Structure 1
Amino acid sequence: MENKSIIVRIVFWGKPKGFPKWPNIYFNPEERISLIKNFLLKRFPEIRFVGWDWVKSEDEIDRIVEKVGVENEIATVIFHLSSGWHGAEKIMKKIPTIVISDPLLWGYAGMITHSHNLRKNGVRGFIVSSSNWNDIEKAFKVIKAYHSIKNSTILVIGDKTLEKNIEKYRKLGFKVILIGFEELKEEMKNIDENNVKKMLEKISLNAEKIVGINREELIKSIKAYYALKILAEKYNANGVTIDCLGGFYSRKIDVYPCIAFSLLDDEGKIMSACETDINSLLTKIAMKEIADRPGFLSEPAIDTSTNLAIYA
């Protein structure tokens, strides 16, 4: 994954104190701006904020629009603090835009206008209409998720026949690297046996019971786990997926990656997905940022006779 800074442009929107507006002529957006700025800088030190412009009238919109995108920001966040929403669609057309508003500070006619503009073809964004700071925080987690996807490096393990299928994902802007099964098998040969033994002991201690898999198969799964970590580091990948069914059926690999992927999910650094399911892999990468914890991907089988769900 490319280690690029998260850059977000902040724009404040609303008429100043002393002008007729919603909610009233005495409301001072400047005080709210100071509060929001302090919150953002304290809560998101990993984000570089730019702009901090305050649009007080429609005459200022074009000046702000010219700045949007010049610092490679990934999104614009408009904090709508009082009446005066016309012209915001000019910003929305340039880069993804989030509109955040306190529902008590401006009328819902403005929300309808923003909603209409955000649904136009080619425009990306959403509205947060809440006075709860936690909801504002969630919006910035979505921005982090979007940044994570755009800067991802996905490692795909399988045959060259997969090249045509993965090419469409490269057009979305992130890296997709295809390597063969041979490279995975070669790394598995070189795994330190002491590390394998320690992981085997750890799995055995943490498991309530081990059924349906022998020691030899478990050792191969652990070696696959270490090999995948090595390959992810080699290619600077934050996501990995394997054509496991194709590789196993063609006898090009002799181990399924299920246990290896489970161990990677426990660590939460490298996201994984089976069956070259890049869509699910991207979802896991995004949700890791939104939920603040890694997810998992599985295809459960239900045994009603024992009330047991088997996850693979």
Structure 2
Amino acid sequence: MRLSVFLIGTSKDFVDNVKQYLQKKFPHIEFDFFTVSSINEASSTVSRLPGDTTGVLVFNSWSIPSIVRPILSRGIPTILISDTYGGAGEFLMEYSRALKLNLPVFGIVVRDLSSLSLLDKYVRMLETIGRLRDSKIVAVVGPDELNLMHLEYPLSIDLYGLRAYLQSIFGVKIELVDIRHFNEKYYSKVTDEEAKPIAERWLKNAEKVVDHTIDDLIKPAKLYLALRRLASDYKADAVTMDDIVLYNSGFLDTWPCLPFMELTLRDKIVSICEGDLISGTLMLLMKFYANVPGFINDPAPDMSKGEIVYFHCYAPINAKGFDSMELSPYIITPAHGGGKKLSIHVRLPVNETVTVVGLSPEERTLAIHTARAIDNEYHLRACATKLVAKANVEALAKNWVWRAGWHRVVFYGDWRGDLKILARLLGLRIIEEDA
């Protein structure tokens, strides 16, 4: 991964310190450093940037009119850091101009430009964008969907045009795998003997098991091993199955809730319910930036109580981080009135702020709201996991970005500010649904 660093009006000592800090802190990133002192020099340098440049950092201590404009106008995700006393004039003149042109730029002005620790967050954001461009989702779909998605069937652009939209915004690559090929090459090759220790571990580690035996868990354990091998072969960062369609069509004979739990916990692979490529891309973004898993859900408000229930039949038990040792208890249970087996109820952390995110790729709009997790409900109505939270449900009802669909992704922590910057760098519009 390559980042370009422009230094304008800074001392040699500052340049040396920046180089040393960045190369020591981020040894896996290749940095190109440029010292420029005029508009022509800035224009010439920008035109010669390597084609694989992921992002740009600009340190500006001069208020030479328009010197940063050629850099910002290049259209590469850019962080502009200006000195309060040296670069404020240039910042005020050029940053607002860049925002009006919807350029992928985030800017900040500080008195102490030498406080380099503020770089960590911004470099990680640019790194996240680079990792998204190098990432891959492998999606297991039925034969009809496979053909239509390859053709981007024009009468159903919501589903079949998604790959192109997500590729253009995030760079993420999406590989489509026919369920028949998956079953033949992966799922059918896993033996009961291989799967049984995993099924036994699920039973042992569950807080409670309702109406399930070890025999019920063999098929999902086989599915887990098959998905893990698929991800390995395709060098995929994420996997998804259009599970409801595949199950109801007879192509899938079990549910992926437990396999997704295992993939997220053991293999650190982003696991995506219902073939939801939009939510999966958001989950990759937050894995690369904050190393936290996401919980895809159907949000359901209760306006009489000012609460919202985020429910689905799978949630990560390591919700606070892929490497977190704080694991949530889970129950293996039926759901949907008892008609669906092999679901998991996860007792997610409470008294925590969660950030809830959706995306409308066609409108290039990121929808964000935050809530306070207060409780978990366990009963057979709807999906198995039900996280209850306090939120501004009246505002959500009025401001819901319907083109982002019903699904949203819950991430533990208050990431609103960081996501607003990342959205800016990705050229996305922000709608704060709870505002």
- TM-score between both structures, scaled by the size of structure 2: 0.60
Residues 106 and 177 from structure 1, CA distance in 2 versus in 1: closer, same or farther, beyond 3 angstroms?
same
The amino acid that maps onto 1:275 is: E
Structure-1 residue corresponding to 2:411: none
Shift of 1:210: 2.3
Instruction: Output aligned runs, 1:119-138, within 5 Å.
Output: 119-121=99-101, 123-129=103-109, 133-138=116-121
Superimposed CA distance per residue, residues 7-66 of structure 1 (whole angstroms, 9 cap, x where no aligned partner): 11111122x5xxxxxxxxxxxx3222221111100011110112x111223342222222
Shift of 1:129: 4.2
Note if contact 2:238-2:270 (Cα within 8 Å) is conserved in structure 1: yes
Structure-1 residue corresponding to 2:90: 110
Structure-2 residue corresponding to 1:308: 377
Tell me, in whole angstroms, the C-alpha distance in 2 between the residues paired with 1:65 and 1:58: 11
Shift of 1:219: 1.9
Tell me, in whole angstroms, the C-alpha distance in 2 between the residues paired with 1:106 and 1:46: 32
Structure-2 residue corresponding to 1:38: 20
SS in 2 for 1:40: helix
Residues 178 and 148 from structure 1, CA distance in 2 versus in 1: closer, same or farther, beyond 3 angstroms?
same
Shift of 1:292: 2.8
Structure-2 residue corresponding to 1:169: 163
Instruction: Output aligned runs, 1:159-198, within 5 Å.
Output: 159=142, 160-161=144-145, 163=149, 164=152, 165-170=159-164, 171-172=167-168, 173-186=171-184, 187-198=186-197
Instruction: Output aligned runs, 1:212-291, within 5 Å.
Output: 212-267=211-266, 269-291=268-290
Structure-2 residue corresponding to 1:22: none
The amino acid that maps onto 1:101 is: I
Note if contact 2:139-2:175 (Cα within 8 Å) is conserved in structure 1: yes
The runs of 5 or more residues in structure 1 that have no matched partner are: 1-5, 17-28
Superimposed CA distance per residue, residues 242-268 of structure 1 (whole angstroms, 9 cap, x where no aligned partner): 111111222221212111112111135
Note if contact 1:241-1:277 (Cα within 8 Å) is conserved in structure 2: yes
Structure-2 residue corresponding to 1:89: 69
Superimposed CA distance per residue, residues 123-170 of structure 1 (whole angstroms, 9 cap, x where no aligned partner): 212124455544311111111221122222221111232513344423
Shift of 1:238: 1.6
SS in 2 for 1:119: helix
Structure-1 residue corresponding to 2:34: 53
Highest RCO, 1 vs 2 (Cα 8 Å, sep ≥ 6): 1
**Is the counterpart of residue 80 in structure 1 residue 60 in structure 2?**
yes
Q: Which moved more, 1:129-138 or 1:196-205?
A: 129-138
The amino acid that maps onto 1:90 is: P
Superimposed CA distance per residue, residues 257-302 of structure 1 (whole angstroms, 9 cap, x where no aligned partner): 1111121111354212111211111111111121134334344449
Tell me, in whole angstroms, the C-alpha distance in 2 between the residues paired with 1:279 and 1:265: 18
Residues 276 and 118 from structure 1, CA distance in 2 versus in 1: closer, same or farther, beyond 3 angstroms?
farther
Residues 228 and 307 from structure 1, CA distance in 2 versus in 1: closer, same or farther, beyond 3 angstroms?
closer
Tell me, in whole angstroms, the C-alpha distance in 1 between the residues paired with 2:187 and 2:44: 58
Q: Which moved more, 1:278-287 or 1:176-185?
A: 176-185
Q: Percent identity?
A: 23
Tell me, in whole angstroms, the C-alpha distance in 1 between the residues paired with 2:264 and 2:65: 44
The runs of 5 or more residues in structure 2 that have no matched partner are: 153-158, 299-309, 313-344, 346-374, 379-383, 387-435
Note if contact 1:100-1:127 (Cα within 8 Å) is conserved in structure 2: yes
SS in 1 for 2:6: strand
Residues 244 and 128 from structure 1, CA distance in 2 versus in 1: closer, same or farther, beyond 3 angstroms?
farther
Residues 85 and 298 from structure 1, CA distance in 2 versus in 1: closer, same or farther, beyond 3 angstroms?
farther
- TM-score between both structures, scaled by the size of structure 1: 0.81
CA RMSD of aligned residues (A): 2.8
Structure-2 residue corresponding to 1:145: 128
Structure-2 residue corresponding to 1:3: none
Residues 100 and 124 from structure 1, CA distance in 2 versus in 1: closer, same or farther, beyond 3 angstroms?
closer
Note if contact 2:77-2:104 (Cα within 8 Å) is conserved in structure 1: yes
Tell me, in whole angstroms, the C-alpha distance in 2 between the residues paired with 1:81 and 1:217: 65
Which has the greater radius of gyration?
1
